[in-house]
């Protein structure tokens, strides 16, 4: 599982070093993001080639993919030593957001954004100061 990749964020090798959290997180995110982009390109490129005028759809898809990868990486970093829990929490948060958005419209996405920001800062604090 790609969430297991974020395990080093709990290692003293990184935490007792001068490496900033953002740099470590981005470095660990690079491979999962590259794999996602590769799989995305496999379908997006033929679709674009077939219909070049409809370029907005693959671009929007790519941006959405980057966003999802970012959110996934935040969950993975927060639950760095429990990759299965990270994946479950990520799927549960997305499912709940999608379900609630049916009733409360897109404002629910603000809640998801707030949760992601909260997890990011908690993880960053724990990485920097224990």
Partner 1 sequence: MADPLPPSTAPLLELRSVSAGYSGRPVVSGIDLTLRRGEILGLLGANGSGKSTLVKAFTGQLPLLAGSVSIDGIDMAAAPEQAKACLGLAVDFGEVPTSLTGRQYLELVASIRRCAPDAWPAQDLPSLLAVERWIERPVATCSLGTRMKISILAALLGAPPLLVFDESLNGLDPVVAFRMKRLIADLAASGRHGIVLSTHVVETIPTVCTRAVFLAEGSVAESWDAAALAAAAASPGGFEAHVMAALTRRTGIAA
Note whether 11 binds partner 1 by CB under 8 A.
yes
Instruction: State the Cα–Cα distance between residues 40 and 47, nearest whole angstrom.
Output: 11
Note whether 43 binds partner 1 by CB under 8 A.
no
Q: Which is nearer to partner 1, 90 or 127 (CB)?
A: 127
CB 30, min distance to partner 1, A = 14
Note whether 8 binds partner 1 by CB under 8 A.
yes
Note whether 17 binds partner 1 by CB under 8 A.
yes
Note whether 81 binds partner 1 by CB under 8 A.
no
Contacts for 10-16 with beta carbons within 8 Å, 24 or more apart?
A: 10/80, 10/81, 14/127, 15/127, 15/128, 15/130
Instruction: State the Cα–Cα distance between residues 72 and 44, nearest whole angstrom.
Output: 21
List of residues 6+ apart from 101 with CB closer than 8 A: 108, 109
Binding-site member from 38, 42, 49, 129 for partner 1 (CB under 8 A): 129
Binding-site member from 2, 4, 6, 18 for partner 1 (CB under 8 A): 18
Note whether 19 binds partner 1 by CB under 8 A.
yes
Note whether 82 binds partner 1 by CB under 8 A.
no
Instruction: State the Cα–Cα distance between residues 10 and 28, nearest whole angstrom.
Output: 13
Instruction: State the Cα–Cα distance between residues 3 and 75, nearest whole angstrom.
Output: 8
Q: Enumerate binding residues for partner 1 (CB under 8 A).
A: 8, 11-20, 128-130
């Amino acid at each position: 599982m790609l969430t297991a990749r974020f395990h080093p964020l709990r290692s003293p090798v990184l935490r007792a070093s001068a490496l900033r959290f953002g740099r470590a997180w981005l470095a660990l995110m690079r491979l999962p993001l590259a794999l996602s982009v590769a799989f995305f390109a496999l379908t997006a490129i033929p679709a674009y080639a077939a219909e070049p005028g409809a370029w907005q759809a693959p671009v929007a898809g790519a941006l959405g993919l980057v966003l999802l990868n970012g959110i996934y990486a935040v969950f993975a970093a927060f639950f760095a030593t429990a990759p299965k829990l990270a994946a479950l929490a990520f799927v549960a948060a997305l499912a709940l957001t999608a379900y609630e958005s049916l009733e409360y419209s897109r404002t629910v996405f603000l809640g998801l954004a707030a949760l992601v920001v909260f997890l990011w800062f908690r993880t960053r604090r724990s990485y920097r100061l224990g």
